[in-house]
Amino acid sequence: MAHTPESDALSAAILASVVQIRPDGAGGAGVVLERAGKTVIVTNAHVARARPGTPILVVTRSGAVVEARVERTDPFRDLAILVPPVDGDQARLRPAAEPGDISRLKPGHLVLAVGHPFGLANAISMGIVHSVGPIRGAFQLTEGRGQQPWIQADIRLAPGNSGGPLCDAEGRLIGINTMIVNGLGLAVPIPDVIQFLQGSTAPRHRGIGEPSGAI
Amino acid sequence: MSAPAFSLLDLSNQLALAVETAAGGIVAVHGRPQLASTGIHWRDGLIVTTNGTVRRDEDLSVTLPSGNRVAAALQGRDPSTDLAVLTIEPGLFPTVKLGDPGALRPGHLVLALGRLDESGARAAFGTLSRTGGAWRAWGRGEIDRLVQSDLTLYPGFGGGPLVDAAGQVHGVNSGRLSRPFTTTIPVETVNRIIDHLASRGYVRRGYLGAGMQSVLLQPQLRERLKLDREGGLLLSAIQGGSPAAVAGLLVGDVIIAIDRRPVTAPDDVLKILSGDTAGRSLSLDLVRGGKLETVDVLIGERPRGSHS
pLDDT, one tens digit per residue, over A144-181 is 777 789 999 999 999 999 999 999 999 999 999 999 98
Identify the CA nearest to A160 among candidates A127, A124, A131. Answer: A124
Average pLDDT over residues B6-30: 95
Confidence tier at B5 by pLDDT (50, 70, 90): low
CA–CA separation, B24 and B116 (whole Å)? 14
Q: Which entry of A74, A78, A89, A168 is annotated as an active-site residue?
A: A78
- Angle at the Cα of A62 (from A58 to A64), degrees rounded to 5? 45
Please say if the pLDDT value at position A71 is more than 80: yes
pLDDT, one tens digit per residue, over B147-203 is 999 999 999 999 999 999 999 999 999 988 877 889 999 999 999 999 988 777 677
A46 catalytic per annotation? yes
Strand A150-154 versus strand A123-133 pairing type: antiparallel
Cβ-Cβ contacts under 8 Å for A199 (sequence gap 6 or more)? none
- pLDDT at B94 (0 to 100): 97
Nearest-CB residue to A110 (from B5, B15, B152): B15
CA–CA separation, A81 and B199 (whole Å)? 65
Q: What is the DSSP string of A5-74?
A: HHHHHHHHHHHHTEEEESTTSS-EEEEEEEETTEEEEEE-HHHH-S-TT-EEEEE-TTS-EEEEEEEEEE
What is the three-class DSSP state of B248?
coil
CB contact (8 A) between residue B111 and residue A128:
yes
Average pLDDT over residues B115-140: 90
This complex has an ipTM of 0.85
Confidence tier at A106 by pLDDT (50, 70, 90): very high
DSSP state of B218: P
Confidence tier at A215 by pLDDT (50, 70, 90): very low
Confidence tier at A210 by pLDDT (50, 70, 90): very low
CB contact (8 A) between residue B123 and residue A108:
yes
Indicate left, alpha or beta for A103 from its phi (over 0: left) and psi (-120 to 50: alpha).
alpha
Nearest-CB residue to A10 (from B8, B11, B117): B8
A2-11, B31-40, B177-186: range with lowest mean pLDDT? A2-11
Do the Cβ atoms of B185 and B177 come closer than 8 Å?
yes
Chain pair A-B, CB pairs under 8 angstroms: 93
A chain contacts of residue B122, beta-carbon cutoff 8 Å: 107, 130-131, 152
Phi, then psi, of B194 in degrees rounded to 5: -60, -45
- pLDDT at B4 (0 to 100): 53
CA–CA separation, A172 and A13 (whole Å)? 9
- pLDDT at B44 (0 to 100): 96
Please say if the pLDDT value at position A17 is more than 50: yes
- pLDDT at A1 (0 to 100): 46
